[in-house]
Chain A
Amino acid sequence: MTPDKSPSADPAQEKPSHSPTQAASADPSAPGPTTSRRGFLKAGGALSMSSLMGTAALMTQSDDAAAATEWAEHFQKNYRLMTDAEKAEARTRLERRYSSEYGKKVTVDTTGPQPGVLMGYALNIRKCIGCRRCVHACVEENNQSRGTRPGEKIEWIQVLRMERGEFAKDKMNQGYPEGLGIQVGGNAYTPAGQVLEGQYRYEPEAVPEKDATYMPIACMQCEKPPCVKVCPVRTTYREADGPVVIDYNWCIGCRMCMGACPYWARRINLTTPVLPKEEMNPVTHYLGNRPRMRGVVEKCHWCLQRSRQGRYPACVEVCPVGARKFGNLLDPESEVSKILERKNVFRLKAELNTFPKFFYFYD
């Protein structure tokens, strides 16, 4: 994977592409959503599990292929424990259901990590202008819920807005006790860096704002992810090429990972995500942006559906000032490697020993 050398904003490239090992199951002539249950069962009948699902589907008295698919999904294994055949089966199943649900040809990529790749991300905090285009691009690319009820709107990226003038001359006396006249120390009354809920969802008229600086955050894809450690069903884990991912079909929604994450990078789908058919992005990855279900946790995965095909994540591609950089940390010639080598780099909350692969830099 060399996204640094072959970045592309060309929408023509957004065609479904699969790794050679998975190509067999990506056959476009596979039965479409109109297939009868019998046909579906025949197609997947090679495995004993499928017949069990078929029985379950029969019990539900439904002729709908989607219903049968959902039953099969209920009993499938943890993604990492699936054999290649089972992965292919799961993928066809999902492609069929999503295609019928969203009324367009949806592909579910299952490309695994490529050898010699460790993804890394760098962000130039000096350049960020707070336009929040990355946030919107991310929502569109990754099929996040965009409802209006509280809890239905999900954004993986936050661009935190910080007041300039926090350290102005007139505030330098802050902390000196008034009235007492004797300095006792430790009297700074204003808590640092706090906002009210949703204050990062600002829409300024012009950017950058004169009195603000910005700090975009998202999942840091830690090397020692606290969220992975606390997961009771091992549904969230670090892929060999870096990103921490979630098997949405295995998540029990216990929200331990959300509690453990020091970067507040995870969101819970409180209800079935609101995803209008026409806005749905049909190019998906199993561990990435495929539509989620109710009650599971989701997070940033550096656009696996793009990055594993040699493209930039959506936020990198859309950034108008080029503050966001992405590449292979194992490749000394990649942009990120060069930034780590030459720039002033820091990690967020380094004291927590999570070792993020998301680096901030300034020049």
Chain B
Amino acid sequence: MQQLISFATDYSRYVLKGGTKFYTWMGSLGVLMLGMLYVFYLQNTEGLIVTGMTSQIHDGLYFANLVFLVGVAAGAVTIVFPAYAYHHEGMHKVAVLGEMLAITAVIMVMMFVFAHMGRPDRLWHMIPPWGIYSFSSMLGWDVMVLNGYLILNFVCGFYYLWCKYTGNPINNKWFLPLVYVAIVWALSIHTVTAFLISTMPSRPMWFHSMMPIRFITTAFAAGPALIILIFLIIRKNTKFWVDDSAIKLLTTIVTWCLGIAIFLTLSEVVVELYARTEHANGLYYLMFGLHGLTRLVPWFWSAVALMVGAFILFLMPSFRNDFKKLVIPCVMAFTGIWIEKGMGLIVPGFIPSPIGEVTEYYPSFVEVLLSLGIWAFGFFILTILLKGAIGILLGEIKYGGQAAAAK
């Protein structure tokens, strides 16, 4: 018990100490979070009318971010898997950082769920014994696998850190099985998210079995792309050194998952547009506009340009091996997939509506600010989690030892 208290105090003391850069970063995130709180209050007193959503297009920016972030959470497995299944040395050193990212992403997903619901005050209706758990609903399953993933990563990540902190050996008897369960579970979360939207015959654009695999490939491109960026930032700003081998392996994973994602997208475009039935209207709206409405067309093509561009850059050794230039394709891939899988996938699913109604959706200021705030909150938590984890990995926080100040 005393160890636990000292773990908590040491951890928070270490996290709280930081330079001007750290406080500026956290402060600006804090400002965005305050904005988020305000608009969240506004949305919950006025109703969803403050968003751009309508009865026609009732899933918007929130849902788009939600779907994307489940992918980021699942993407963390690209670190854990090579670390534990292939005993990759460089990855093993940083596996716990991947778990921290997964925790953060799932928390952000939960926040987007709260933002998305019309009545977030009634979410307890989903939780037995007070509420009803529905086994037939994909949303019910999604909630279950997401919470399971959160718990798994929390337990695995913090148990590892705890052992490092106290100096106890890791009990592999239950730790390793749990890690393997978490690896498979990562696939499940994104698969269920894909099922969430691909099991609706009323929305022809989503109604195909390619959705889960497309989700997994884009997740394993966007997630690691973000992780590479984070690793590069960690290398630059802390004493912690992420091995080149880890970043190189991640680059390989991003490259080929991105390649497969582009291939799958192209296959879909061909299948849909060759015959150009009315079921292709959603995709057609996304690519070229429909009935004179073209709001999403620039988004789609920018996503295509970003993804294809990133793929080409990743293939070039001068970019792949130069960690300064590597930032560019990583940012491109991350943004491209965010567009493609977020707004580019969710919104055209509703256009045209099942009765053939063509209408458009514009995120309102409230939606944008709330989404930004949740992202800020995510980075806020991520910074805290990563900083503490790095402190423990570096040995700067240790049970019984003097807590050293972070750089």
Choose one: A160, A217, A294; the contact of B47 (CB below 8 Å).
A294
A230 proximity list for chain B (CB < 8 A):
136-139, 199-200
Bitwise interface map of A from 285 to 300 toward B, beta carbon under 8 Å scored 1, else 0: 0000000001111000
Choose one: B116, B122, B201; the contact of A226 (CB below 8 Å).
B201
Complex: how many Å from CA A262 to CA B51? 24
A233 touches B54 (CB 8 A): no
B47 touches A233 (CB 8 A): no
B325 proximity list for chain A (CB < 8 A):
none
A192 proximity list for chain B (CB < 8 A):
278, 356
A233 touches B290 (CB 8 A): no
Residues A80-132 near B (CB distance < 8 A): 81
Complex: how many Å from CA A234 to CA B133? 8
Complex: how many Å from CA A160 to CA B355? 9
B82 to chain A, nearest CB (A): 35
Known: A259-B200, A271-B48. A254 touches B54 (CB 8 A): no
Complex: how many Å from CA A260 to CA B207? 11
B81 to chain A, nearest CB (A): 30
- Asked if B27 is an interface residue, CB under 8 A from chain A, the answer is no
Choose one: A74, A160, A196, A254; the contact of B359 (CB below 8 Å).
A196
A252 touches B125 (CB 8 A): yes
- Asked if B367 is an interface residue, CB under 8 A from chain A, the answer is no
Complex: how many Å from CA A290 to CA B99? 48
Complex: how many Å from CA A196 to CA B357? 5
Q: How large is the interface on B (under 10, 10 to 19, 20 to 34, 35 or more residues)?
A: 35 or more
A259 touches B202 (CB 8 A): yes
Complex: how many Å from CA A74 to CA B124? 11
A262 touches B357 (CB 8 A): no
- Asked if A8 is an interface residue, CB under 8 A from chain B, the answer is no
Chain B residues proximal to chain A, CB less than 8 Å = 46-49, 51, 53-56, 58-59, 116-123, 125-126, 131-132, 134, 136-140, 143, 197, 199-203, 274-276, 278, 281, 284, 290-291, 293, 349-350, 352-360
A160 proximity list for chain B (CB < 8 A):
355
A253 touches B119 (CB 8 A): yes
Complex: how many Å from CA A352 to CA B279? 14
Choose one: B59, B119, B139, B352; the contact of A194 (CB below 8 Å).
B352
Known: A258-B58, A269-B118. A264 touches B355 (CB 8 A): yes
A149 touches B49 (CB 8 A): yes
Choose one: B46, B53, B119; the contact of A252 (CB below 8 Å).
B119
A259 touches B121 (CB 8 A): no
Choose one: B46, B134, B353; the contact of A232 (CB below 8 Å).
B134
Choose one: A188, A231, A233, A254; the contact of B131 (CB below 8 Å).
A233
B55 proximity list for chain A (CB < 8 A):
151, 154, 258, 266-268, 270
Complex: how many Å from CA A78 to CA B396? 53
B126 touches A233 (CB 8 A): yes
A231 touches B137 (CB 8 A): yes
Complex: how many Å from CA A120 to CA B216? 44
Bitwise interface map of A from 157 to 194 toward B, beta carbon under 8 Å scored 1, else 0: 01010000000000000000000000000101001111
Bitwise interface map of A from 220 to 257 toward B, beta carbon under 8 Å scored 1, else 0: 00000010011111110000000000000011111110
With A151-B54, A158-B355, A233-B134 known, 9 other A-B pairs at CB within 8 A are: A78-B125, A193-B278, A196-B358, A252-B126, A253-B48, A256-B137, A259-B197, A264-B353, A295-B118
Known: A233-B134, A271-B49. A296 touches B119 (CB 8 A): yes
Known: A194-B357, A252-B119. A270 touches B47 (CB 8 A): yes
A195 touches B137 (CB 8 A): no
Choose one: B53, B59, B118, B293; the contact of A294 (CB below 8 Å).
B118
Choose one: A232, A255, A294; the contact of B137 (CB below 8 Å).
A232
B61 to chain A, nearest CB (A): 14
A347 to chain B, nearest CB (A): 15
- Asked if A272 is an interface residue, CB under 8 A from chain B, the answer is yes
Complex: how many Å from CA A235 to CA B117? 15
B118 touches A254 (CB 8 A): yes
Q: Name, among A152, A233, A255, the residue most crowded by chain B CB atoms within 10 Å (CB to CB).
A: A233
A193 proximity list for chain B (CB < 8 A):
278, 356
A362 proximity list for chain B (CB < 8 A):
none
A194 touches B47 (CB 8 A): no
Complex: how many Å from CA A232 to CA B128? 12
A-B contact pairs, 19 of them (CB 8 A): A150-B54, A154-B55, A191-B290, A194-B352, A194-B358, A195-B358, A200-B357, A230-B199, A230-B200, A232-B137, A252-B120, A253-B117, A253-B118, A253-B122, A259-B203, A262-B202, A268-B53, A272-B47, A295-B119
A186 touches B275 (CB 8 A): yes
B54 touches A252 (CB 8 A): no
Complex: how many Å from CA A188 to CA B277? 9
A260 touches B202 (CB 8 A): yes
Known: A78-B132, A269-B47. A195 touches B356 (CB 8 A): yes
Complex: how many Å from CA A193 to CA B281? 11
B310 to chain A, nearest CB (A): 31
B201 touches A352 (CB 8 A): yes
B318 to chain A, nearest CB (A): 43
A4 to chain B, nearest CB (A): 29
Complex: how many Å from CA A233 to CA B278? 33
Complex: how many Å from CA A149 to CA B278? 32
B47 touches A234 (CB 8 A): no
Complex: how many Å from CA A141 to CA B386? 58
B125 touches A233 (CB 8 A): yes
- Asked if A263 is an interface residue, CB under 8 A from chain B, the answer is yes
B119 proximity list for chain A (CB < 8 A):
251-253, 294-296
A263 proximity list for chain B (CB < 8 A):
202, 354-355
Choose one: B117, B132, B281; the contact of A234 (CB below 8 Å).
B132
Q: Name, among B123, B276, B356, the residue most crowded by chain A CB atoms within 10 Å (CB to CB).
A: B356
A272 proximity list for chain B (CB < 8 A):
47
B359 proximity list for chain A (CB < 8 A):
196-197
